[in-house]
Amino acid sequence: MASFTASSLSTSTSVMTTCDSKPEITPQKLMNSSILVQPEWIEMEICDVGNSIFNELPLSKENLNLKVKSLNTALVFKDLKLLKLLASTRNGLLNKGLRSTIWPELFIENHAINDTPTDWHDLPKHKDEDQVLKDVERSFVSFPKGITPEELKDLRTRLNNLIVRVIRTTPALNYYQGYHDVATIVVLVFDDDDLAFKFLHKLTLSYLRDHMLPHIESTVKQLNLISELLEKIDYKFFKAIGSIPPLYALSSVISVFSHDLSKFDDLCLVWDFIFVHDDPALIIYIYASILIYYKDDILNDLDELSGKSFSSDDTLIDESSTSIHEDEFYNRDFIHVILNNLIDNNLNSTNSIDSNLEIYNILQLSLKYINKYPPSSLKLMSEISDYSVLKAKRSELELLKSSSSFNNEPKRPSSSLPKKKGRLSSIILRNKSLSLILKLSLGIGLLSIIINYTVSNHPNVLSHSFIKFRSREFGVLNSFSVNAIFKDVENTALFFYSSAGKVVESIRGNGNR
Amino acid sequence: MSNNRKKTILKVIILGDSGVGKTSLMQQFINGKFSQQYKATIGADFLPKDLTIDDKQVTMQIWDTAGQERFQSLGVAFYRGSDCCVLVYDVTNTKSFENVQSWRDEFLIQANIKDPDNFPFVVIGNKIDVEENKRLISSKKAQALCANLGNLPYFETSAKEAVNVEQAFDVVARNALQQEESLEFSDDYTDAVNIHVDGDNYGSCGC
Residue B207 at interface with chain A, using a CB cutoff of 8 Å: no
Mean pLDDT value across residues A48-73 = 75
Structure pTM?
A: 0.74
Residues on chain A touching B93 (C-beta within 8 angstroms): none
User: Are residues A176 and B70, on separate chains, in Cβ contact within 8 Å?
Assistant: yes
A352 and A395 share one domain:
yes
Residue B197 at interface with chain A, using a CB cutoff of 8 Å: no
A interface mutation test: which of B4, B39, B49, B95 has the most A CBs within 10 A? B39
Residues on chain A touching B9 (C-beta within 8 angstroms): 330
End-of-domain residue from the set A181, A212, A243: A212
- The answer to whether the complex's ipTM is over 0.90 is no
End-of-domain residue from the set A173, A192, A212: A212
A207 and A225 share one domain:
no
User: Are residues A178 and B73, on separate chains, in Cβ contact within 8 Å?
Assistant: no
A271 and A316 share one domain:
yes
Q: Where are the beta strands (DSSP E) in B17-168?
A: 44-53, 56-65, 84-90, 121-126, 154-156
Residue bearing the bigger pLDDT, A503 or A9 = A503
Question: Is residue A475 packed enough to be buried (19+ CB in 10 Å), middle (13-18) or exposed (0-12)?
Answer: buried
Average pLDDT of chain A, as a whole number: 72
How many domains does one find in chain A?
A: 4
Residue bearing the bigger pLDDT, A149 or A499 = A149
| pLDDT tens, position by position, B69-98 | 999 999 999 999 999 999 999 999 999 999
Grade residue A75 by pLDDT with cuts at 50, 70 and 90: confident
Residue B9 at interface with chain A, using a CB cutoff of 8 Å: yes
What whole-number distance in Å separates Cα of residue A97 and Cα of residue A274? 18
Residues on chain B touching A222 (C-beta within 8 angstroms): none
User: Are residues A333 and B46, on separate chains, in Cβ contact within 8 Å?
Assistant: yes
Residue bearing the bigger pLDDT, B129 or A109 = B129
User: Are residues B190 and A324, on separate chains, in Cβ contact within 8 Å?
Assistant: yes
A115, amino acid identity: D
What's the domain range around A308? 217-403
B112 to chain A, closest Cα gap in Å: 14
Grade residue B7 by pLDDT with cuts at 50, 70 and 90: confident
Residue A45 vs residues A116, A421, A427: alpha-carbon distances, Å: 45, 10, 9
Residue bearing the bigger pLDDT, A432 or A115 = A115
A398 and A440 share one domain:
no
Task: Output the DSSP codes for B156-179.
Answer: E-BTTTTBSHHHHHHHHHHHHHHH
Question: Is residue A453 packed enough to be buried (19+ CB in 10 Å), middle (13-18) or exposed (0-12)?
Answer: exposed
Of A141, A255, A326, the CB nearest to B37: A141
Q: Is the pLDDT of residue A12 over 90?
A: no
- In this prediction, residue A91 carries a pLDDT of 84
- In this prediction, residue A484 carries a pLDDT of 31
| pLDDT tens, position by position, A142-169 | 889 899 999 999 999 999 999 999 999 9
A480 and A338 share one domain:
no
Q: Is the pLDDT of residue A138 over 50?
A: yes
Range in A371-385, A454-468, B59-73, B180-194 with the lowest mean pLDDT: A454-468
Nearest residue on chain B to A304, alpha-carbon basis: B1
What whole-number distance in Å separates Cα of residue B87 and Cα of residue B99? 10
Looking up residue A226, the CATH number of its domain turns out to be 1.10.472.80
Q: Which letter does DSSP use for residue A208 in this model?
A: I
The phi, psi pair for A281, rounded to 5°, reads -65, -25
Grade residue B6 by pLDDT with cuts at 50, 70 and 90: low
B interface mutation test: which of A216, A315, A348 has the most B CBs within 10 A? A216
A348 and A206 share one domain:
no
- In this prediction, residue A3 carries a pLDDT of 34
Residues on chain A touching B1 (C-beta within 8 angstroms): 307-308
Q: Is residue A380 part of a domain?
A: yes
Specify which residues A45 forms β-bridges with. A425
Q: Is the pLDDT of residue A393 over 70?
A: no
Grade residue A217 by pLDDT with cuts at 50, 70 and 90: very high
Chain B residues 60-99 within an 8 A CB cutoff of chain A: 61, 66-68, 70-71, 73-74, 77-78, 80-81
Q: Is the pLDDT of residue B122 over 70?
A: yes
Q: Of the segments A312-326, A442-456, B102-116, which one has the largest average pLDDT value? A: B102-116
Chain A residues within 8 Å of chain B (Cβ atoms): 131, 134-135, 137-138, 141-142, 174, 176-178, 180-181, 215-217, 220, 244-245, 247-248, 250-251, 254-255, 259, 306-308, 323-327, 329-330, 333, 336-337, 340-341
- In this prediction, residue A33 carries a pLDDT of 43
Grade residue A59 by pLDDT with cuts at 50, 70 and 90: confident
Q: Is the pLDDT of residue A209 over 70?
A: yes
Grade residue A55 by pLDDT with cuts at 50, 70 and 90: confident
A314 to chain B, closest Cα gap in Å: 17
Residue B192 at interface with chain A, using a CB cutoff of 8 Å: no
The domain spans of chain B are: 8-182
Q: Is the pLDDT of residue A175 over 90?
A: yes
User: Are residues A340 and B71, on separate chains, in Cβ contact within 8 Å?
Assistant: no
Residues on chain B touching A326 (C-beta within 8 angstroms): 81, 189-190
- In this prediction, residue A449 carries a pLDDT of 44
Nearest residue on chain A to B194, alpha-carbon basis: A324
Q: Is residue A415 part of a domain?
A: no
B70 to chain A, closest Cα gap in Å: 6
Grade residue A84 by pLDDT with cuts at 50, 70 and 90: confident
User: Are residues B9 and A330, on separate chains, in Cβ contact within 8 Å?
Assistant: yes
The phi, psi pair for B122, rounded to 5°, reads -130, 135
Residue A13 vs residues A53, A74, A478: alpha-carbon distances, Å: 12, 17, 9
Looking up residue A145, the CATH number of its domain turns out to be 1.10.8.1310
Question: Is residue A65 packed enough to be buried (19+ CB in 10 Å), middle (13-18) or exposed (0-12)?
Answer: middle
Name the 3-class secondary structure at A1: coil
Q: Is the pLDDT of residue A508 over 50?
A: no
A347 and A393 share one domain:
yes
Q: Is the pLDDT of residue B60 over 60?
A: yes
Q: Is the pLDDT of residue B8 over 70?
A: yes
Residue B34 at interface with chain A, using a CB cutoff of 8 Å: no
Grade residue A78 by pLDDT with cuts at 50, 70 and 90: confident
Residue B151 at interface with chain A, using a CB cutoff of 8 Å: no
- In this prediction, residue A152 carries a pLDDT of 96
- In this prediction, residue A83 carries a pLDDT of 85
Torsion sign over Cα A384, A388, A391, A397? negative
Grade residue B25 by pLDDT with cuts at 50, 70 and 90: very high
Residue bearing the bigger pLDDT, A106 or A49 = A106
For A487, residues 6+ apart whose C-beta sits below 8 A from its C-beta are: A455
Q: Of the segments A21-25, A356-360, B144-148, which one has the largest average pLDDT value? A: B144-148
Q: Is the pLDDT of residue A170 over 50?
A: yes
What whole-number distance in Å separates Cα of residue A464 and Cα of residue A451? 17
Q: Where does A408-488 have alpha helices with state H?
A: 434-456, 464-476, 482-485
Of B38, B45, B80, the CB nearest to A337: B45
| pLDDT tens, position by position, A287-332 | 999 999 999 999 999 888 777 665 554 444 444 443 444 455 458 8
A400 to chain B, closest Cα gap in Å: 35
For A178, residues 6+ apart whose C-beta sits below 8 A from its C-beta are: A211, A250, A251, A254, A255, A258, A259, B40, B42
Sheet of B8-16: strand order equals B44-53, B56-65, B8-16, B84-90, B121-126, B154-156
A178 and A29 share one domain:
no
A180 and A248 share one domain:
no
Q: What percentage of chain A exceeds 70 in pLDDT? A: 59
Torsion sign over Cα A183, A184, A187, A188? negative
8 Å CB contact between A282 and A370: yes
- In this prediction, residue A11 carries a pLDDT of 35
A74 and A28 share one domain:
yes
User: Are residues A340 and B45, on separate chains, in Cβ contact within 8 Å?
Assistant: yes
B23 to chain A, closest Cα gap in Å: 12
Q: Is the pLDDT of residue B13 over 80?
A: yes
- In this prediction, residue A481 carries a pLDDT of 30
User: Are residues B191 and A255, on separate chains, in Cβ contact within 8 Å?
Assistant: no
A149 and A197 share one domain:
yes
Instruction: Give the angle subtended at the CA of B100 by the CAs of B95 and B103, to the nearest 5°.
Output: 115
Q: Is residue A409 part of a domain?
A: no
In 3-state terms, chain B is what percent helix, strand and coil (to 5)? 45, 25, 30
Residues on chain A touching B41 (C-beta within 8 angstroms): 177
Of B1, B42, B71, the CB nearest to A259: B42
A336 to chain B, closest Cα gap in Å: 8
Q: Is the pLDDT of residue A228 over 50?
A: yes
B154 to chain A, closest Cα gap in Å: 25
Grade residue A500 by pLDDT with cuts at 50, 70 and 90: very low
For B6, residues 6+ apart whose C-beta sits below 8 A from its C-beta are: none
Nearest residue on chain A to B46, alpha-carbon basis: A337
B147 to chain A, closest Cα gap in Å: 30
Provide the greatest CA pair distance for chain B.
55
Q: Is the pLDDT of residue A132 over 90?
A: yes
8 Å CB contact between A208 and A182: yes
What whole-number distance in Å separates Cα of residue A206 and Cα of residue A210? 9
User: Are residues A141 and B19, on separate chains, in Cβ contact within 8 Å?
Assistant: no
Class of domain B8-182 (CATH, top level): alpha beta
A291 to chain B, closest Cα gap in Å: 18
Q: Is residue A452 part of a domain?
A: yes
Q: Is the pLDDT of residue A455 over 70?
A: no
A89, amino acid identity: T
Residue bearing the bigger pLDDT, A82 or B135 = B135
User: Are residues A141 and B46, on separate chains, in Cβ contact within 8 Å?
Assistant: no
Mean pLDDT value across residues A61-74 = 87
A16 and A128 share one domain:
no
What HEC string does A113-141 produce? CCCCCCCHHHCCCCCCHHHHHHHHCCCCC
Residues on chain B touching A215 (C-beta within 8 angstroms): 70, 73
What whole-number distance in Å separates Cα of residue B163 and Cα of residue B173? 17
| pLDDT tens, position by position, A470-494 | 333 333 333 233 333 333 333 434 4
Residue bearing the bigger pLDDT, A176 or B194 = A176
